[in-house]
């Protein structure tokens, strides 16, 4: 349909460029710590916000005049939407995308129709991916929009709906595998409760643990080498979502024997809805080897819901990339722009503005992080602060070699310890030099 045909292909023009549709920092082949920028970032466009959302909100209908939104839900309409979507990926020169099954094609009225429709659009996606070189960062099944999932999919009180959800995930996991997807995501938008009055939480969590084990078992059975990722969110649409935040999912994985099999897809706006900074969630996940991939966006500090805006906070993003580089980077994951333009941003070019800004910010943050790491003062300060635990009594304590009494006796015999400054302001000033 050529919706994006009038738009330019975005090129790198350097930091001095004043062209709003040029990259000032994103150079996919520029080496950062010996690896091309694009391999550090694996940036992706999300299908749902850009090619499915009509610009509606809870108070009003869609404001966008996207041609594919008027073509109904047949396969031809799905292919026409895919044509424009892949055209957009090429205008933006972005190498990855992510999608839900329902974003790409109608799933019909039962699992047989769903699989047939999904296979048909997957055939078409495979052709488009072959023609354009665009790859799949991750696939996911939408177990939260259809009314059948109003009480959850995996955590539904009715095992028949659990089974239907299992069928939908089986289909999408196999299609993700077939399309060479790097990861598979499960976001439990309805896996939680609206009220405890009608909820047996232990029952539902046991169901969720079983469901996740079934997904992991099937991943190995079909030979999918991508990473299974859970995407935490504390609430919305549920009053309480079971995979609340990184630490909660960590406990869930430990309880149901999934450590080492499942990692996290962390989203900025989900972290802030949980009352954390995004840096907190990233630091927690990296600390336990649980960070798989990132949904890069931002919320609004005055709004208590998931606004899914394009990220524009260079300091927060720099510190996230710094932690990531310091930890050795992402394995199969990348940075998916789970972000949408505002309801008033009605033109095709607005979609390009949103993604150009997000991608360039991400690239700038990566370069800032590389410089902050190379400078060495920040990592050096932290390493030095905990040096006492790396050898001698500190190491013996953490290794479990001493009893409480032996530790106490050491404290009695030693000089009384005195606190030292944490130098927070100095470190905050240091970071500002790299923003």
Chain residues in the site for ligand DIG (CB under 6 A): 100, 140, 185, 187, 189, 231, 267, 295, 338
For the chain, what is the total number of helices (H) and then of strands (E)? Answer: 16, 14
Computed from CA positions of residues 45, 48, 54, 59, in that sequence, does the dihedral angle turn out positive or negative?
A: negative
Least Å from the CB of residue 71 to ligand DIG? 23
Tokens of 308: 């899914």
Binder of residue 79, out of Mn ion, ligand DIG, none (CB less than 5 to 8 A by kind): none
Task: Using DSSP bridges, classify how beta strands 227-231 and 183-187 pair: parallel, antiparallel or unpaired.
Answer: parallel
Binder of residue 140, out of Mn ion, ligand DIG, none (CB less than 5 to 8 A by kind): ligand DIG
Verify whether residue 218 is a known catalytic residue.
Answer: no
300 is in an annotated binding site: no
**Interface of this chain with Mn ion, residues 310 to 349, rule: CB under 5 A:** 338
Least Å from the CB of residue 370 to ligand DIG? 27
| Smaller CB separation from ligand DIG, 279 or 338 | 338
* Distances from the Cα of 400 to the Cα of 288, 408, 411, 417, angstroms: 20, 14, 16, 22
Contact 120, 76 (CB under 8 A): no
Stretch that binds Mn ion, among 62-70, 188-196, 260-268, 342-350 (CB under 5 A): 260-268
Does 103 bind Mn ion (CB under 5 A)? Our answer is: no
| Smaller CB separation from ligand DIG, 174 or 370 | 174
- Convert residues 293-312 into a mask of x (bound to Mn ion by CB under 5 A) and - (unbound): --x-----------------
Does 267 bind Mn ion (CB under 5 A)? Our answer is: yes
Cis, peptide link before residue 237, omega less than 30° from 0: yes
295 is in an annotated binding site: yes
Catalytically annotated residue among 40, 49, 100, 250 = 100
Contact 62, 55 (CB under 8 A): yes
| Cα–Cα nearest to 266, from 234, 237, 295 | 295
236 is in an annotated binding site: no
Verify whether residue 103 is a known catalytic residue.
Answer: yes
Cite the beta strand spans of 188-341 per DSSP E. 192-193, 227-231, 240-241, 262-267, 291-295, 335-337
Exposure on the CB side of residue 11, measured as CA atoms within 13 A: 4
The annotation places the binding site for Mg(2+) at 231, 267, 270, 295, 306, 308, 338
Catalytic residues: 100, 103
């Amino acid at each position: 349909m050529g919706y994006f045909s009038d738009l330019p292909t975005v090129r790198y023009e350097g930091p001095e460029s004043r062209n709003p549709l040029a990259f000032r920092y994103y150079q996919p082949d520029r080496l950062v710590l010996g690896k091309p920028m694009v391999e550090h970032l694996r940036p992706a466009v999300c299908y749902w916000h850009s090619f499915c959302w009509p610009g509606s909100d809870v108070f009003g209908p869609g404001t966008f005049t996207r041609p594919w939104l008027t073509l109904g839900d047949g396969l031809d309409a799905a292919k026409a939407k895919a044509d424009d979507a892949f055209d957009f990926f090429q205008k933006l020169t972005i190498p990855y995308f992510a999608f839900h099954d329902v974003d790409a094609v109608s799933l019909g009225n039962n699992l047989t129709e769903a699989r047939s429709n999904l296979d048909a659009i997957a055939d078409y996606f495979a052709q488009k991916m072959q023609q354009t070189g665009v790859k799949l960062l991750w696939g996911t099944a939408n177990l939260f929009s259809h009314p059948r999932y109003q009480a959850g999919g995996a955590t539904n009180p009715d095992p028949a709906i659990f089974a239907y959800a299992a069928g939908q995930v089986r289909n999408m996991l196999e299609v993700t595998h077939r399309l060479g997807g790097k990861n598979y995501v499960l976001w439990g938008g309805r896996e939680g409760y609206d009220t405890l009055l009608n909820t047996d939480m232990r029952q539902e969590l046991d169901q969720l643990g079983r469901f996740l084990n079934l997904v992991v078992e099937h991943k190995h059975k079909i030979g999918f080498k991508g990473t299974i990722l859970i995407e935490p969110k504390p609430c919305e649409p549920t009053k309480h979502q079971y995979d609340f935040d990184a630490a909660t999912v960590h406990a869930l994985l430990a309880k149901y024997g999934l450590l080492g099999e499942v990692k996290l897809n962390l989203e900025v706006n989900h972290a802030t809805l949980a009352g954390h900074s995004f840096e907190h969630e990233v630091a927690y996940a990296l600390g336990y080897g649980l960070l798989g991939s990132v949904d890069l966006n931002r919320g609004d500090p005055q709004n208590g819901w998931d606004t899914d805006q394009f990220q524009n906070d260079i300091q927060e993003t720099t510190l996230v990339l710094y932690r990531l580089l310091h930890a050795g980077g992402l394995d199969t994951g990348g940075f998916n722009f789970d972000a949408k333009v505002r309801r008033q941003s009605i033109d095709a070019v607005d979609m390009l503005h949103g993604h150009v800004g997000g991608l360039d910010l991400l690239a700038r943050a990566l370069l800032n992080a590389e410089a902050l790491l190379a400078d060495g003062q920040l990592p050096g300060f932290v390493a030095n602060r905990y040096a006492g635990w790396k050898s001698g009594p500190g190491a013996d304590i953490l290794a479990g070699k001493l009893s409480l009494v032996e530790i106490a006796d050491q404290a009695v015999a030693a000089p009384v310890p005195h606190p030292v400054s944490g130098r927070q302001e100095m470190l905050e000033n240091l970071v500002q030099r790299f923003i």
